[in-house]
Amino acid sequence: MLTAPLLAMAIALAPAPELKSIDTILGKGATATKGDVVTVNYRGNLLDGTVFDETKGKPPFSFVLGKGEVIKGWDEGVVGMKVGGKRVLSLPPEFGYGDQAVGPIPAKSTLIFEVELLRVDRQGAQPMIEIEELAPGTGDGAKAGDTLEVHYTGTFVNGQKFDSSRDRNQTFKVVLGKTGIIKGFELGLTGMKEGGRRKVTIPYALAYGEEGRPPVIPPRSALVFDLEVVKITKG
Q: How large is the average pLDDT for residues 69-92? A: 97
3-state secondary structure 143-207: CCCCEEEEEEEEEECCCCEEEEHHHHCCCEEEECCCCCCCHHHHHHHCCCCECCEEEEEECHHHC
Distance between CA atoms of 108 and 99, rounded to whole angstroms? Answer: 5
Spell out where the chain has E strands.
20-25, 37-46, 51-54, 61-64, 86-91, 111-121, 130-135, 147-156, 161-164, 172-175, 197-202, 223-233
Q: Which residues are catalytic?
A: 152, 162-163, 182, 208, 225
- Which pLDDT score, from 0 to 100, does residue 23 have? 97
- pLDDT tops 50 at residue 220: yes
How high does pLDDT run on average in the chain? 93
**Nearest Cα to 79, choosing from 32, 24, 22?**
32
Contacts of 88 (CB under 8 A, 6+ apart): 4, 7, 8, 11, 21, 22, 24, 112, 113, 114, 115
Exposed / middle / buried, residue 6 (Cβ in 10 Å: 0-12, 13-18, 19+): exposed
Q: pLDDT tens-digit profile of 27-51?
A: 999 999 999 999 999 999 999 999 9
Using CA atoms, how far residue 54 sits from 41, 47, 114, 142, 158, in Å, is 8, 15, 9, 41, 13
Residue 6 phi, psi dihedral angles, 5° rounding? -70, -35
> Would you list the domain boundaries of the chain?
4-121, 130-233
4-121 against 130-233: fold identical: yes
> Does the domain made of 4-121 have the CATH classification 3.10.50.40?
yes
Instruction: List, for residues 87-137, the tens digit of each pLDDT value.
Output: 999 999 999 999 999 999 999 999 999 999 999 999 889 999 999 999 999
Sign of the torsion angle spanned by Cα atoms 131, 137, 143, 147:
negative
Q: Please report the pLDDT score of residue 7 as a whole number.
A: 58
Q: What is the reported pTM?
A: 0.90
The yes/no answer on whether domain 130-233 falls in CATH 3.10.50.40 is: yes
CB atoms within 10 A of CB 12: 18
Tell me how far apart the alpha carbons of residues 131 and 6 are, in angstroms, rounded to a whole number.
40
